[in-house]
Amino acid sequence: MINILKENSFDCRVSSVLNREVKSYGKQYMFDDSEETCWNSDSGIPQWILINLQSECEISEIEIQFQGGFAGKNFRLLAEFYPEGLKHVQDFYPEDTNKVQHFKLDKPLRATGFKIIFDDSTDFFGRIIIYKLALYSKS
Q: Domain residues of the chain, as ranges?
A: 2-137
Whether pLDDT at 114 is above 90: yes
Q: Are strands 39-40 and 129-137 parallel, antiparallel or unpaired?
A: antiparallel
Please, which residues have CB within 8 angstroms of residue 13's CB and are 6 or more apart in sequence?
A: 27, 49, 50, 52
pTM above 0.85, yes or no: yes
CA distance 106 to 91: 10
Kind and range of the H or E run holding 134: strand 129-137
Whether pLDDT at 138 is above 90: no
Altogether, the residues listed in the chain come to a count of 139
Tens of pLDDT, residues 57-73:
999 999 999 999 999 99
Q: Given pLDDT bands bounded at 50, 70 and 90, which one contains residue 90?
A: very high
Residue-averaged pLDDT of the chain: 96
CATH superfamily of 2-137: Galactose-binding domain-like (2.60.120.260)
CA distance 138 to 135: 10
Whether pLDDT at 139 is above 80: no
Tens of pLDDT, residues 120-136:
999 999 999 999 999 99
Q: Given pLDDT bands bounded at 50, 70 and 90, which one contains residue 83?
A: confident
Report the greatest alpha carbon distance in the chain.
40
